Amino acid sequence: MRDDTLLAALAAAEEDRIVFDLTGIEERYASLLEELPGVRVRFALKACPVDEVLDCLARKGSGVDAASVQEIRQAVGAGVPADRIHYGNTIKSDADIAEAYRLGIRDFATDTVEDVTAIAAHAPGSRVFCRLATDGGGALWGLSRKFGCSAEDAVAVLERARDAGLEPAGLSVHVGSQQMTAEAWQRAFEQLVDLLGLLGRRGTALRYVNLGGGLPALGYLDRRGEPLDPPLDKMFAVIREGMQHCRDAGGPLDFVVEPGRYLVADHGAVRAHVSRLTRRHTETGEQQFWLYLSCGKFNGLYEMDALQYRLVFPGHQGGPSVPATVAGPSCDSDDAYPGGHGLVQVPEAVASGDPVWVLSSGAYAVSYMTQGFNGFAPLPWTCVRRTEGER
């Protein structure tokens, strides 16, 4: 991963901010198309609702997976054609459906007959994609309860859509966010292949399969501080094979993917600073170190409860270090890596005000940020691009 531009921007930043490397994001997008040729990409805008990021991906041909009317408005305002915007949230009100339709959206995700009835009433003639439930196994965030339906319900949903004048266009799945196993994709394709065959026997031929998100970022650490190291090559091999199995079962099909963190996480980073490195003693006399940063769960690092980010302490390489619990600045006990896990080796010499670089934090840093919890303001962001001479 080429990150010289990102690191240079972090080094140049004198105040806290998020930095996005647009060139790196574009290269990750290109590598996705090389691995899955012919797929249609719909960037999961919720992962990084930054106009500059949206614009650079749209210029490369990406569409958008939108979770709300506001995200649809943002995508349309950024120049993304409405026919490349998928309303991917299965939860939406009548007013949401009507407004999306007014904005030109014709692709809707669904997983209930009640939602199909509402789409037929407020977005007549639209295409619907029925989302199947997955078990979420192997993912840091399984997404297994709130979304998706059984195969039996999917048949009812798609047949109701056809009877209501909608186009039963496709099936969709989501194997869980930051999926760490190829086996999860295998299980999802087994579901898809079985259901495509069943639908075909019942006279319903689909045009699309939407494989959702789940492709992992590569730069995270686990709670022991070790690289997560997802088997990305194996995942892509399983996906390519599964796509062919789906075509064998369901005839000619186009495939859609909705990556979010895979595209942006490793090409965004936070420039924060040290508030304090402290030490305490427990009731048993054990010494504990705590590193308090200017940035935490509520202003950029919301996902710190499930993973560790790589921390870089510029100017402090090579000296003695201590194992510390990392926490944000707020007066909230949730604003820390989980207790008993996530000790990070921290240079013993760090002082208040020293810069800290939080790598691979480009996903969900902006979208999960509060508007000033405890008075700590949201971080601004900067987008950088590699010059021709650096390529």
* Residues involved in catalysis: 331
3-state secondary structure the chain: CCCHHHHHHHHHCCCCEEEEEHHHHHHHHHHHHHHCCCCEEEEEHHHCCCHHHHHHHHHCCCEEEECCHHHHHHHHHCCCCHHHEEECCCCCCHHHHHHHHHCCCCEEEECCHHHHHHHHHHCCCCEEEEEECCCCCCEEECCCCCCCECHHHHHHHHHHHHHCCCEEEEEECCCCEEECCCHHHHHHHHHHHHHHHHHHHCCCCCCEEECCCCCCCCCCECCCCCECCCCHHHHHHHHHHHHHHHHHHHCCCEEEECCCHHHHHHHEEEEEEEEEEEEEECCCCCEEEEEEECCCCCCCCHHHHCCECEEECCCCCCCCEEEEEEECCCCCCCCECCCCCCCEEEECCCCCCCEEEEECCCCCCCCCCCCCHHHCCCCCEEEECCCHHHC
